[in-house]
Amino acid sequence: MCGIVGYVGDKDCASLLVEGLRKLEYRGYDSAGLAVETSAGKVGVVRAVGKLANLDAALAKTPLSGKTGIGHTRWATHGRPSEANAHPHVAGNVAVVHNGIIENHVELRRGLEAAGVKFTSDTDTEIVAHLVHEEMGKKQGDFASSVRRALARLRGAYAIAIVCGDVPETILVAKNASPLVIGIGDGEMMAASDIPALLAHTRDVIFLEDGEMAVLEKKSATLSTLDGKPITRAPKRIDWSPAQAEKGGFKHFMLKEIFEQPRAIEDTLRGRIDVTAGEIVEEEIGVTATLAKKIARVYFVACGTSSHAAIAGRYWVEQLARIPATVEIGSEVRTREPVFGPGDLVVAVSQSGETADTLAAVRTAKAMGAHILAVANVLDSAIPRASDGALYTHAGPEIGVASTKCFTAQLAALLMLAVHLGRARGALSKEEARRILDALLAVPHAMRDALEEAEHVKNLARKYARARDMLFLGRGTGFPIALEGALKLKEISYIHAEGYAAGEMKHGPIALIDEEMPVVVVAPRDAHYEKTMSNLHEVRAREAQVIAVVSEGDKDVVGVDAIRVPVVEPEVLPLVTVIPLQLLSYFIADIKGTDVDQPRNLAKTVTVE
């Protein structure tokens, strides 16, 4: 996730573009840059690492004056945050900003390098600049047709904005699977990844759809499909307040991020799965097949929500790769005198990549000879830097302190890791791998179905918002989902909640159950269904009110408040069953009026012991 902006009109645009980027900083903030047409045929570029204040300082030193320009604020996916990797990327007098992931970047880059192109960055985006430049050089047709030919060579997700010194006072924008909206002004046109960047200038916008492009000039926005068919689309008027717009019309970032999960999973899977071969693309996963064969134990370390993803990861690694696996929370690793050694693959799971306890555990394990794989959402953060390899989730920045989309992106990454290890070691057949990978690719669709229950969950939240305590139960990979459901509830609504393995209920928590203690049971149709149902009946027999997360079409669950999730393959169930629990916590917290995005006493990134 990155933020892009563009402007063409009569105003000097550098500061206007930076203001637009400021409204998009929630989409990325590790580096930023502008490209402005400073004189006929000339495009000037200024970039800086870090937050926008650094770009301001760079522009104070090297001002860019001109009335056509594009800008970018970056959330790194390919290539660490650095000035060289910051956008815009330039080839000749073509400058490009991009949000998304180009899947076939390796092969395109090899092709361009073989033709003599010298790259100045590690990004997938620079390829786009070179492709457009190459096509412009062929002088066949206009700017738009050159861009069309270049884009036809790309696979993946993009929203891009391009300026070219040879085509003054023009911006070209195009979109496939990443957002792009055009702002229609009076004698000026803008483009941006999201509406907040436009609202200071116009409320009339046109949303570009996948597979479309537009040529923006001062007084016109000419839309067409990527294969050249003209499109007419009337602008829409946006009446959101600036605060609403920042959250995409949602009341809180957390709710927005819950709804962003299908996209976060698509981005995390993108370019990493070869279904035909039943394999994961090795370069993307951070563990080679040779190393996979040597692993004697997988040891997950993580804190908070990430430790729940790690538990699911453990179950998958054991089931699919048949490697002994264990999970430990970071703070306990640094407290004990643990034993690690060669043969251990330590998987450090952390959305921020900065959590002090997880980092300390990584350093301990590394010093004892273990191989470390980081699963992180922030490129080049401390934990990946201290590790031997990294598997990045591509959830984009998460603003809500209580993690949602980063959690499900971690689940997707860990399931890919387990499949990869299983295939490399011969523990998982090609057919089984294909079944699981197909199911994983279908998760975004299933998540969208699960999200459609939001209104129903909101009604249940009204019923349960006054509870003082709640118990969450689950079995198998439903167990970490029960833990996560309980953690979400306590984090944001301050209701005391416990997650338990359903089978463990009889060893203690059952003593607490009465009509005052609502119990949430994660009970989809999986191999554990009947046993979980027995637990559900035990709870019902003690007068507790039950909320049950069940599979669509399950008619056997009666006398409970059921929330239905679509039927999916058992391995991907946790990615779907967690959604109603996230929504339940969110709506309960909202009813109680707590500070959902910044709950008391909690921090997004915990860099202290």
Binding site for ligand G6P (CB under 6 A): 303-306, 350-352, 355, 358, 401-403, 602-606
Query: Which H, E and C letters describe 295-323, residue by residue?
Result: CCEEEEEECHHHHHHHHHHHHHHHHHHCC
* 592 to 151, 369, 462: CA distances (angstroms): 49, 49, 10
Count of Cβ atoms closer than 10 Å to residue 236 Cβ? 13
Q: How far is the CB of 477 from ligand G6P (least distance, A)?
A: 18
CB of 401 to ligand G6P, least distance (A): 5
Structure tokens at 113: 């390098």
CB-nearer residue toward ligand G6P: 354 or 554: 354
Beta bridge partners of 350: 376
End-to-end CA distance of the chain: 30
Identify which of residues 488 and 564 has a Cβ nearer to ligand G6P in the complex.
488
Nearest-approach distance from CB 370 to ligand G6P, in angstroms? 18
The least distance separating ligand G6P from the CB of residue 356, rounded to whole angstroms, comes to 9
SS3 81: coil
Candidates 366, 531, 592, 604; catalytic one? 604
Residue with Cβ nearer ligand G6P (99 or 381): 381
Task: Quote the crossing angle between the two packed helices 573-592 and 478-493, to the nearest 10°.
Answer: 20
Q: Which is nearer to ligand G6P, 146 or 261 (CB)?
A: 261
The first and second tokens of residue 484, run together, are 């996560």
Q: Report whether 360 contacts 330 (CB < 8 A).
A: yes
When the beta carbons of 134 and 398 are compared against ligand G6P, the nearer one is 398
Locate 31 and state its tokens: 């580096």
Distances (CA, A) of 222 to 96, 182, 380: 19, 11, 39
Sheet holding 519-522, edge to edge: 496-501, 469-474, 519-522, 546-551, 561-565
Whole-number Å distance between alpha carbons of 547 and 573: 17
How many angstroms separate the Cα of 399 from the Cα of each of 90, 225, 290, 404, 482? 31, 34, 38, 10, 23
**Smallest gap from residue 349 Cβ to ligand G6P (A):** 7
Nearest to 225 by CA among 243, 204, 205, 208: 208
Q: Does 604 participate in catalysis according to the annotation?
A: yes
Instruction: Locate all alpha helices (DSSP H) within 115-197, ordered by sequence.
Output: 125-137, 143-152
In the complex, least distance from residue 542 CB atom to ligand G6P, rounded to whole angstroms: 32
Residue listed under structure tokens 């195009």: 174
Asked if 21 contacts 52 with a C-beta cutoff of 8 angstroms, the reply is yes
* Nearest CB to ligand G6P, comparing residues 20 and 485: 485
Helices (H) and strands (E) in the chain, counts: 20, 27
We find the least distance from the C-beta atom of residue 351 to ligand G6P, in angstroms, to be 4
Please tell me the distance from the alpha carbon of residue 46 to that of residue 56, in angstroms, as a whole number: 10
- Catalytic residue of the set 2, 164, 303, 406: 2
Smallest separation, CB 446 to ligand G6P (Å): 24
State which residue, 146 or 351, has the beta carbon closest to ligand G6P: 351
Residue 5: strand, helix, or coil = strand
- Please tell me the distance from the alpha carbon of residue 29 to that of residue 416, in angstroms, as a whole number: 28
DSSP character at residue 472? E
DSSP string, 519-537: EEEE--SSTTHHHHHHHHH
Q: Which is nearer to ligand G6P, 176 or 307 (CB)?
A: 307
**What's the CA angle centered on 443, arms 437 and 448, to 5 degrees?**
165
Query: In this structure, are residues 4 and 192 in contact, taking their beta carbons and an 8 Å threshold?
Result: yes
To the nearest whole angstrom, how small is the minimum distance from the Cβ of residue 595 to ligand G6P? 13
Strands 94-99 and 89-91: antiparallel
Stated length of the chain: 609
Which CB atom, from 202 or from 306, has the smaller least distance to ligand G6P? 306
In the complex, least distance from residue 7 CB atom to ligand G6P, rounded to whole angstroms: 36
Nearer to ligand G6P, 261 or 305 (CB): 305
Indicate if 2 belongs to the active site.
yes
Residues with a known catalytic role: 2, 604
